Amino acid sequence: MPYVFPPAAPVGIPVAGSDAIFPVRRVYCVGRNYADHAAEMGADTREPPFFFSKPADALVPGGGNVPYPPATGNLQHEVELVIALSRGGANIRPEDALAGVFGYAVGLDLTRRDLQLRAKDKGHPWDMGKGFDHSAPIADLQPATAIGHPRRGAIWLQVNGEPRQHGDLEQMSWKVAEVIANLSTYLTLAPGDLIFTGTPAGVSTVVRGDVLTAGISGVGEIRVKLV
In a 13 Å sphere around the CA of 37, the CA atoms on its Cβ side amount to 28
Helix (H) or strand (E) segment spanning residue 166: strand 162-168
| Residue 50 or 186 with smaller CB distance to Mn ion | 50
Q: How far apart are CA 191 and CA 181, in angstroms?
A: 15
| Residue 109 or 193 with smaller CB distance to Mn ion | 109
Q: Nearest approach, Cβ of 43 to Mn ion (angstroms)?
A: 13
Task: Please report, as residue ranges, which positions from 22 to 81 form the binding site for Mn ion (by CB under 5 A).
Answer: 78
165 makes contact with Mn ion (CB under 5 A): no
Q: What binding mask, one character per residue, do residues 78-107 give for Mn ion by CB under 5 A, x or -?
A: x-----------------------------
140 makes contact with Mn ion (CB under 5 A): no
How many residues of this chain bind Mn ion (CB under 5 A)?
Answer: 3
What percent helix, strand, coil does the chain show, rounded to 5? 20, 35, 45
Q: Nearest approach, Cβ of 196 to Mn ion (angstroms)?
A: 6
Based on the number of CB atoms within 10 Å of its own CB, is 84 exposed (0-12), middle (13-18) or buried (19 or more)? buried
193 makes contact with Mn ion (CB under 5 A): no
109 makes contact with Mn ion (CB under 5 A): yes
Strands 194-196 and 27-31, sheet pairing: parallel
Q: Nearest approach, Cβ of 103 to Mn ion (angstroms)?
A: 20
Q: Which stretches of the chain bind Mn ion, using CB under 5 A?
A: 78, 109, 199
